[in-house]
Structure 1
Amino acid sequence: MKPGPLPKPSHLKLLEGNAGKRPLDLAAGVNPRIEIPSCPKHLGPEAKKEWKRITPLLEELGLISGLDRTALALYCQAAGRLAELETAFNGKVARLQQTKGIDYAEAVYDASYSVTPSGYAQQSVLVQLLGKHREQVNRYLMHFGLSPAARGRVQASNYAQPQLPGMEPKPEGVVSGFARFAGGR
């Protein structure tokens, strides 16, 4: 994904007055049919729960098509793995509280860090994995417009080319404009 804002759709530029005065390609853009793709069989249990939770919402918003199966599977698998890692971390904290008789904050610290043989505190592998999966999930959320910042950057599919005010579809068989001089091609 490129940094910065996504380009505006051509029909929106036209409605705003085409401030850049560049030629607009109003036929540009893809508007695939809105549909929920089949859930991949390789997803883990938590990922399948996320698939079942998120796909109806994306369909309602017009933000999902059959083309999105792999991207959605990546998001769901990352979200599912994050949920599993969070559960494992919380379980480790609870075990530390129980076995060592320490308070929650101290148990979180003990679960988050280990002491190396040279005496330095080192972040645990579990906490490192949690951080990486949180970043992954956030990145996938952006692709589907599932965060407040990303919602303005996605465009729902309407499975049709946009109809702009004052632009009527060309009647069949009628030759107009330059085509009249070019032999009706």
Structure 2
Amino acid sequence: MADPTRRRPSLQVVREGNPGKRPVFEGVHVPSVELSEPVWTDTFADVPGDQGAVNARCREVASREWQRVVPVLEFTAGLGSVDTATLTDYCICVARIDQCEREISTNGILMLGERGWQKNGATTIVGQYRTQLSRYIRELGLSPSARVSITPPDQDDDSDIWD
């Protein structure tokens, strides 16, 4: 049986090491499992025509992003099955940003509409997806600043695990 005073290391200890062999206290522990990649056709339907090609690219981008980040996050953060929805949404954001950027590249930032030149709607949508993506990046610890700000969990007693 595991010693209750010893706990799973924080991401900071995993990343930086613990040369002082200080006791590491655990926060909430989610049992790690192998995360299964979502079926992307559930999100990006396989439809005929131009939209089908757009959705096929979205499936490809989302799958590529999943395969890129999940192995890293399983190692560094010990992800569990409860994290699947967050990771799926993160990958969807990446795919939709790619879709919007391709739309903007194809049709331009400004489009001629009924009332003259107006902003391409994809510019607004991509901004919203980027805002959401930055939240996921922060939550999952995928940026350098997010990794630097990782702190050990609060403890019930007055001891400092880093002393």
**With structure 2 as the length reference, what TM-score do the two structures score?**
0.58
1:113 to 92, 110, 117: 110
What secondary structure sits across from 1:122 in the alignment? strand
What secondary structure sits across from 1:64 in the alignment? coil
Counterpart-to-counterpart distance in 1, 2:99 and 2:118: 22
**With structure 1 as the length reference, what TM-score do the two structures score?**
0.52
Counterpart check, 1:126 vs 2:95: no
Change (3 A) 1:152 1:63: farther
Deviation at 1:27, TM superposition (A): 8.0
2:83 to 68, 76, 88: 68
- 2:98 maps to amino acid: A
Change (3 A) 1:34 1:70: same
Please tell me whether the aligned partners of residues 37 and 65 of structure 1 are also in contact (alpha carbons under 8 angstroms): yes
Counterpart-to-counterpart distance in 2, 1:152 and 1:112: 35
What secondary structure sits across from 2:99 in the alignment? helix
For structure 1, the 5+ residue unaligned runs are 1-10, 13-25, 94-110, 157-163, 166-185
1:145 aligned residue: 141
- 1:114 maps to amino acid: M
Counterpart-to-counterpart distance in 1, 2:151 and 2:32: 12
What secondary structure sits across from 2:118 in the alignment? strand
Q: Deviations over 1:135-157 (max 9, x none)?
A: 1111111110111221134479x
1:58 aligned residue: 73
1:45 aligned residue: 60
Change (3 A) 1:142 1:36: farther
- 1:133 maps to amino acid: Y
Deviation at 1:62, TM superposition (A): 2.5
Q: Deviations over 1:86-139 (max 9, x none)?
A: 22322x16xxxxxxxxxxxxxxxxx112356555x5321011112111111111
1:136 aligned residue: 132
Q: Which has the higher contact order (CA 8 A, sep 6+)?
A: 2
- 1:30 maps to amino acid: V
- Percent identity, aligned pairs only? 26
- 2:131 maps to amino acid: E
Structure 1 or 2, whichever has the larger Rg, is: 1
Please tell me whether the aligned partners of residues 104 and 120 of structure 2 are also in contact (alpha carbons under 8 angstroms): no
- Please show how residues 150-169 of structure 1 align to structure 2 within 5 Å: 150-154=146-150
CA RMSD of aligned residues (A): 3.2
1:83 aligned residue: 98
Aligned length: 117
Counterpart-to-counterpart distance in 1, 2:33 and 2:109: 42
Please tell me whether the aligned partners of residues 144 and 154 of structure 1 are also in contact (alpha carbons under 8 angstroms): no
